[in-house]
């Protein structure tokens, strides 16, 4: 057996062991949990009529077509300077 034959056999066995290891890990590990794609969609943002801060629409308080960031700003009403 020549050096070339020995090297080819060694490379063959290394490749075979690496492939077997890869298949074993692939089928052994549980399926990855599915991602929640709702986080990928952008949030709808609104502007507080009192202070002008932007916040997610689902956290805002609305009254009379205006959005507010807190109950205190809702009670103060819209700031005329912001308009």
**What secondary structure letter does DSSP report for 12?**
H
Q: What's the confidence (pLDDT) of residue 25? A: 87
Q: How do residues 33-83 score in pLDDT, each as one tens digit?
A: 666 666 667 889 999 999 999 999 999 999 988 999 999 999 988 877 655
Q: Which domain holds residue 52?
A: 43-82
How far is 24 from 27, CA to CA, in rounded Å?
6
Could you tell me the pTM of the whole model? 0.49
**What secondary structure letter does DSSP report for 55?**
E
The region, left, alpha or beta by phi > 0 then psi within -120 to 50, assigned to residue 52 is left
Q: Is residue 15 part of a domain?
A: no
Q: Is residue 18 part of a domain?
A: no
The two tokens of residue 19 are 């492939």
Strand partners, 72: none
Number of domains in the chain: 1
Q: Is residue 27 part of a domain?
A: no
Q: What's the confidence (pLDDT) of residue 80? A: 72
Contact 44, 26 (CB under 8 A): no
Q: Is residue 13 part of a domain?
A: no
């Amino acid at each position: 057996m020549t050096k070339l034959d020995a090297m080819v056999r060694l490379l063959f066995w290394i490749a075979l062991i690496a492939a077997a290891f890869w298949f074993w890990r692939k089928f052994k590990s549980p399926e990855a949990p599915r991602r929640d794609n709702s986080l990928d969609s952008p949030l709808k943002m609104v502007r507080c009529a009192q202070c002008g801060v932007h916040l997610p629409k689902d956290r805002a308080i609305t009254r009379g077509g205006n959005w507010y960031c807190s109950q205190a700003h809702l009670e103060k009403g819209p700031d005329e300077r912001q308009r």
